[in-house]
Every structure is written in structure tokens, then in C-alpha cells.
Amino acid sequence: MKVSIIIPTYNRFDLLKTCLDSVEKYTNLKDKEIVIVSNGCKDKTVRFIKLKQDIGLPYKLLEFPRPIGFPKAINIGALASEGDFLIFLNNDIELLLSTIDIWIDCLMGPFLKDPKVAISGPVKVENAETKMCFILFFCAMVRRSIYEELNGVDEIFSPGYGEDVDFCIRAQMKGYKIAQIPYETETLPKKNGFDVVNYPINHDSTQTFRHIPDHNKNYAKNSQILKQRYGK
């Protein structure tokens, strides 16, 4: 039951290094792999990941000379991965103080309880355009078989916004479930005596769309696609 952690990144080595340092610190990498999709990076990213590979850490590097957008990046990352479960993680994520693998265990929990669960994540919200709930893909686990069944995220939403909404809706229309893991006031299960009150993750959401030119225009375009497909 291998887990693949897929991280698209674009020219924010400072964010990526913080993200990867925390993942390595709080994750048992024995049965996991980290797939980095270099989305047109011109900074230290590629060299840094190659150094990780050189010392035997389970990294895969997919390098693209120009930005390809978030939807295409995670689709390519998923295709190159080997895990039965895929974790999509933004490069602006930092795991907080916790015991090893508790963030993975929390994401995995709903899948172990219910075979109909397709996606889990710490943030589940209602989309304004469709009035349907979805899991934000800044941190989300997806069952690989369902990801393949749905042919991944729809790249019509490139360079980004709405692909997670669309994917979650399509999964639910197929009869699958989405699950929010313990978050905010809920208490996570104890592991090795360590009691975590909140899901141990920090998300610098101000960085999410910084690399996307004319984000407002893209938001309007993709919002309209969602309205046309699922709006009432």
C-alpha cells in the first residue's frame, strides 16, 4: 500500500525546501515516494532534488522547461508514480510538530473505514458556483484506482483553479465519497502517546496562485466552466 506524495513546484525554492524538510522530518519514507514536478523552475529546485536522489532518498524528478500548470503537473506526477494512494501537496505546505506519519495516517483513515471513499483532506468546503462540496487539493489523498477511473483532473482548468472542484464532483456523481479528516477543533487519534489537537499542517495560501499570470481572468474562465457543467 505504497503512498506517493506529488508536489508540483514553480520557482519558489524557499517554500519547497521548507516543505520537503518538514515532510522528511515527520514522514517514514520507507514505503513512500516523493514525486517533484518541476513546473518550469529556473531556481535551485532541480539541483536540490538531484542531490536528494544522490544520497538515496526516494525522490522522483519530472522536469519541464516551461510552466505547464497545476492540473497537468499533478496528472503527469500521478502517471509517473507507483503508489496505491496519491497525496497532492502544494509546495507552500509545512508539516508542524507531530509524531512520524500521523499526517499520513489521518489522510488514510477514511479509506480504511469505507471502500467508497475516493478523496480525503483537511479542508472540505462548498463551491460557490456549483453549491457542491469538495476537498481542496493543496493537501489531499486520492485512491489511485479512482483517479485512473476518472482519467485524472481535467486539464481544461489549466493553469489552475477549479480542477479539484470538478474532480470531487465527478467522483461523487460516480457514487464515491469525499471525507474531511479531523481539522480545527477536532482531536486527532493519539499515536505513541502524542496528542495532536489540529491537523499538523501550515498552508501559506497567499502563495498558491502567485505564479499564475492574470489569475483573476483564469478564475473567471474556470468559474464559468464549473457553472456550465454543474450549476443549477
* Threshold 0.85, pTM exceeds: yes
Q: What is the pLDDT of residue 210?
A: 41
Residue with cell 469505507: 114
**Contact of 75 with 157, CB cutoff 8 Å:** no
**Contact of 124 with 135, CB cutoff 8 Å:** yes
Q: What is the pLDDT of residue 205?
A: 53
Q: What is the pLDDT of residue 97?
A: 82
The residue type at 214:
D
What cell was used for 116?
Answer: 467508497
The residues with which 202 forms a beta bridge, in sequence order, are 94
Q: What is the pLDDT of residue 185?
A: 39
For the chain of 232 residues, list the mean pLDDT of each consecutive stretch of 10: 92 91 95 94 92 95 92 96 96 88 93 95 92 94 98 95 96 97 52 47 56 63 94 74
